[in-house]
Amino acid sequence: MKRTFDLLISIILLVSLSPIMLIIGALIQFNLGTPILFKQMRPGLNGKPFNLYKFRSMKNEKDVHGRPLPDHQRLNGFGNALRKLSLDELPQLVNVIKGDLSLVGPRPLLMEYLPLYTENQAKRHQVRPGITGWAQINGRNAISWEEKFELDVWYVNHQSFLLDVKILILTIVKVVRSEGVNSEKNVTMIPFRGEDNKEREEHG
């Protein structure tokens, strides 16, 4: 039922939102340049890697050494608006249709985090990752990594069709209110560093 629901909703949304996505693509090219899409390898079900698609929301500006500038310097007003409205996530509907993602599940993070999880945290990969999830409607980027993983594992242990519907509805509410988009001190979450990350957050 979950897979059928994912396919049905994603196809309907992709078709109905395609004109808006074309407009967003044109605005990205005008405001940020090319490429329009951001593609990155992420771990999926059981940690199997796949290419995650998003609309690009940051400039490609680099320092004198060729390294990307800090996020807050590359994120302009246009990119910030894309993130607040979660419009940058729309290309992930293609990932859902391909079977990489579900509409609801733990958010796919970076490949480099895989060896840093505790045994309990690693349970988040026992289900297909999602565009939105239990952690996203309970704090998103405004909560700590440890809290986020606890919420992810809770979802794995309690997942149901009705819970997914509830999460989707509450996600719409959160997007409208632009809640939890940024962490308290950063425009994006600070990198996860395993057991050392909690200490960094407490003293950072």
For residue range 78-113, list pLDDT tens digits in order. 888 898 888 999 999 999 999 999 999 999 999 999
Percent of the chain with pLDDT over 90: 64
104-129 mean pLDDT: 95
Tens of pLDDT, residue by residue over 191-201, are 888 875 554 44
- The Cα 15–Cα 93 span in angstroms is 10
The top-scoring range by mean pLDDT among 58-62, 68-72, 78-82 is 78-82
Structural tokens at position 138: 């309970």
User: Given the structure tokens 């045994």, which residue do they identify?
Assistant: 119
56: domain range?
2-203
- The Cα 186–Cα 46 span in angstroms is 30
Nearest to 177 by CA among 87, 58, 85, 72: 85
pLDDT of residue 180: 54
Q: Which residue has the higher pLDDT, 66 or 199?
A: 66
60-85 mean pLDDT: 80
Confidence of residue 175 (pLDDT cuts 50, 70, 90): confident
pLDDT of residue 200: 45
Residue 41 main-chain phi, psi, to 5 deg: -75, 130
pLDDT of residue 45: 96
Confidence of residue 38 (pLDDT cuts 50, 70, 90): very high
Nearest to 86 by CA among 137, 34, 144: 137
pLDDT of residue 201: 46
Tens of pLDDT, residue by residue over 41-56, are 999 999 999 999 999 9
Which one-letter amino acid corresponds to residue 152?
D
Q: What total number of domains does the chain contain?
A: 1
- The Cα 190–Cα 85 span in angstroms is 21
175-202 mean pLDDT: 62
- The Cα 199–Cα 204 span in angstroms is 8
